[in-house]
Amino acid sequence: MRQWTVADVMTREVVSVAPDASYREVVDALLDSGVSAAPVVDARGRVVGVVSEADLLHRVETTGDERHRRVFGGSRHGDAPGAAAADLMTAPAIVVAPEASVAAAARRLESERIKRMPVVDADGRLVGVVSRRDLLRIHTRGDADIRAEIVDGVLLRTLWIDPVVVEVDVADGVVTLTGRVQSRSLARLLVDLSGTVAGVVEVVDRLAWDHDDTSVVRDRRHVAGGRR
């Protein structure tokens, strides 16, 4: 079963700025690209920080100069606070690896309360950016793709269930499983694994089973976890 990673959804064409970029150059980069933050990248391509609108506005507030407050109001004229990106950025940057799972990236964004993260390779070099919007792309997958992954990845490759005995229907991301399997625990596992497939919104369980083995499974777990 396929594991969706950050590399599958990240934006590869990234607007970045150099550590010595002026305040004005950073403002222009953000306004021109329509993003709220940009990685600060050194000469070797390594991410050394992130500079955001919040960082820039904080600098404006500390100057107390009304002329600079108009920078984000649409005006691009007048002097800007004398600082480089290295002086303005938040460091160290919160980053993620391209091989990290989409779920792990989502948890990181949520825990850090940020909207986007630079994606870096093993040497810390910038390879992309992943945002909350990027992570939502997995839910735009077509129903046919979702069904194919469940049939091939879950039924055949993971659980070794013949697709003939289980019907998989997908409509607008809602998966309906119909058929009969050997045990209740296997049916539960099939439902759970289908729910982890990228793009699945909900799983409707219409499965039947030949025997209820849940009590046996519980007893085995109790013995395995009990005191000796």
Residue 58 confidence (pLDDT): 77
Domain 6-138: state its class.
alpha beta
Mean pLDDT confidence for 173-192: 96
Condensed to tens digits (0 to 9), the pLDDT of residues 93-152 reads: 999 999 998 889 999 999 999 999 999 999 999 999 999 988 888 878 889 999 999 999
Point out the least confidently predicted range of 76-80, 151-155, 183-187.
76-80
Helix (H) or strand (E) holding 179: strand 174-183
Domain 141-216: state its class.
alpha beta
Task: For CATH 3.30.1340, list the domain ranges present in the chain.
Answer: 141-216
Neighbours of 220 (CB within 10 A): 11
Residue 77: half-sphere exposure toward Cβ, Cα within 13 Å: 0
Task: For CATH 3.10.580.10, list the domain ranges present in the chain.
Answer: 6-138
Condensed to tens digits (0 to 9), the pLDDT of residues 24-75 reads: 999 999 999 998 899 999 999 999 999 999 888 877 665 555 554 455 444 3
Helix (H) or strand (E) holding 119: strand 116-120
